[in-house]
Amino acid sequence: MWTIALFVVFTGNETIFLLLIGSLGMAGLWEYFQMIERSGKRCFEAFGMACGAASFIGSFFALRTNSQTAAYDFENFVLLVFLFGVFARQMFRPTGKHAPLETMAYTLFGLLYVAWLFNFMTKIIYVVPRTPQGSTLGQFYVLYLVVVTKFADMGAYLVGSRIGRHQMMPHISPAKTWEGFLGSLVFATIGSYLLIFLMPKQLAWFNFLHATVLGVLIGFAAVVGDLGESIIKRSTGVKDSGALLPGIGGMLDLIDSLLFTAPLLFFYLRFLVR
């Protein structure tokens, strides 16, 4: 997986990047809907997947025109179509008293939680100006995001499993500890320094101060993202979102922390660095 990710980043092929991000996001969205269905709840799975795919593809082409406004308008359009669609779909589906609202809410939440949040990965590419030759540089910031987020995940696991003694939120995830939380912050900061040291030209917008602040923020957001998915898994009664990745679980288990760190980095770049 790292080989594929590095190939996409260093080739700079925007279409391949769309395919990678879109496939990961759609796999995560599919697993979310499957968890809802297996728990006995209902959702509009096919319609939700179609809107998710439209969101990834449409936003990508809008962003390629160097227009954040066009991408924003398109996302609002997809949301509007989605709301019209779920209400229209529900009108032709006889259900009990409470089920219609729950079905629409579960579907809408999946679209926002997975597709909308993960789509910030694509937005990061285009928030960074292109080179004079027209090449994108934002993919290196996506690489930075993935590496620092995964350093945070590794730090939380390694420190928590080795010396973790104080449970963080046992009602959500008994295995999470405060020691693991601190490990996430430390490892994320180390990963941030490492990337900026190894790729000073590609990450020219960042300095030592940015590396420190982002390391802490991404480490914190990664833990929140992991706990967020734990809430969903506990609510649906599953241990893992899927069995696609041995030792990890499903695709949603792989990208859960990125769902929260990607928007954070996007807005950091948009408002604090540019």
Instruction: For 115-154, write each residue's pLDDT tens digit.
Output: 999 999 999 998 888 888 878 888 999 999 999 999 999 9
The rounded mean pLDDT for the chain is: 87
- 266 falls in which pLDDT band (50, 70, 90)? very high
Most confident of the following: 62-71, 123-132, 206-215, 265-274: 206-215
Residue 236 has pLDDT above 90, yes or no: no
Q: How far apart are CA 18 and CA 1, in angstroms?
A: 16
- At residue 149, the pLDDT reads 95
End-to-end CA distance of the chain: 31
Q: How far apart are CA 157 and CA 145, in angstroms?
A: 18
Residue with tokens 């995830």: 173
Q: How far apart are CA 90 and CA 235, in angstroms?
A: 23
Q: Higher pLDDT residue, 205 or 274?
A: 205
Q: How far apart are CA 131 and CA 212, in angstroms?
A: 26
- 212 falls in which pLDDT band (50, 70, 90)? very high
Q: Are 32 and 232 in contact (CB under 8 A)?
A: yes
> pLDDT digit string (tens) for 91-123?
776 655 557 788 888 999 999 999 999 999 999
- At residue 173, the pLDDT reads 83
- At residue 95, the pLDDT reads 58
Sign of CA dihedral 187, 193, 197, 202: positive
- At residue 2, the pLDDT reads 72
- 246 falls in which pLDDT band (50, 70, 90)? low
- Domain layout of the chain by residue ranges: 12-273
Q: Are 230 and 175 in contact (CB under 8 A)?
A: no
- At residue 43, the pLDDT reads 86
Residue 244 has pLDDT above 80, yes or no: no
- pTM attached to this predicted model: 0.90
> pLDDT digit string (tens) for 181-200?
999 999 999 999 999 999 99
Q: Are 48 and 107 in contact (CB under 8 A)?
A: yes
